Each structure stands twice: as structure tokens, then as C-alpha cells.
């Protein structure tokens, strides 16, 4: 079990690094060029990184058939997605 959690941690680490690299690039371009659009996308991408992280964990645990924690992680994902839904529809 511990070994599998470690493998999942590696996948999460990669997802976090990709999210960070992309949003950092956009934010840098936006700030240096004084452009609103890359800033907006950079911020949105950064905001979405934790959501993607939870989605990766949920999928990873489902693959591992750890159903208890898949359910726990899915609840977190559902709360985050409902937060986005509420924000868009207010």
C-alpha cells in the first residue's frame, strides 16, 4: 500500500510542477508585457492547479481500488467543482 501511495505522490508532484510552470510562464509574460490576457489565464491556471491535483488523486486511488479514499477524494472534488459552478452562476 505504501509503495502505491508513493507512486501516486510522484504523479501528483508532476501535475503540480506542470501547473506551476505553465502559470508562472503566463504570469511573467503578462507582467513584463503589461498584458491582461496572459495574466488572467495565468491566474486561472494557478487557481485550477489544486482542482486538477484532487482529480489526479481521485483517479489514482480509483485505479488502486482504494474505494474509501476514492470516495473521500471524490467528495472534495465535488465541493471544488460546485464552488466553481456557484461562482459562474451567481
Partner 1 sequence: MPVHHVLLYLFTGAAAGLVGAMLGIGGGVFLVPLLTLVLGVPIRAAVAASLISVIATATASSTVNLDRGLVNMRLAMALEVATSIGGLGGGLAASLLSTQQLFVLFGGTLAVMGALMLLRSGRRNVIADTSVDPGRLGGRLQEGDTTYVYRVRRLNLALAASLVAGAVSGLLGLGGGIIKVPVLNTFCGVPIRVAAATSAFMIGVTAAASVFVYFARGDVVLPVAAAVALGALPGSIAGARLGQRVEARALKIFMAAVLLLVGGRMALEVL
Cβ neighbours of 58 (radius 10 Å)? 20
Length of the chain: 90
Nearest distance, CB of residue 40 and partner 1, angstroms? 6
Write down the H helix ranges in 1-90.
Answer: 2-33, 36-63, 67-89
Nearest distance, CB of residue 65 and partner 1, angstroms? 15
Nearest distance, CB of residue 59 and partner 1, angstroms? 13
Q: Which residue, 17 or 63, is less far from partner 1 as judged by CB?
A: 17
d(CA 66, CA 46): 28
Instruction: Answer left, alpha or beta for residue 65, where phi above 0 means left and psi between -120 and 50 means alpha.
Output: left
Applying CB under 8 A, the residues found at the interface with partner 1 are 5-6, 8-10, 12-13, 16-17, 19-20, 24, 27-28, 30-31, 34, 36, 39-40, 42-44, 46-51, 53-54, 57, 69, 72-73, 75-76, 79-80, 82-84, 86-88, 90
Amino acid at each position: 500500500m505504501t509503495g502505491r501511495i508513493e507512486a501516486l505522490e510522484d504523479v501528483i508532484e508532476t501535475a503540480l510542477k506542470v501547473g506551476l510552470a505553465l502559470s508562472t510562464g503566463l504570469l511573467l509574460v503578462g507582467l513584463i508585457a503589461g498584458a491582461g490576457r496572459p495574466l488572467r489565464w495565468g491566474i486561472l491556471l494557478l487557481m485550477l492547479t489544486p482542482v486538477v491535483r484532487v482529480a489526479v488523486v481521485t483517479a489514482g486511488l480509483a485505479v488502486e481500488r482504494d474505494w474509501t479514499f476514492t470516495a473521500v477524494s471524490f467528495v472534495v472534488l465535488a465541493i471544488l467543482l460546485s464552488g466553481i459552478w456557484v461562482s459562474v452562476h451567481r
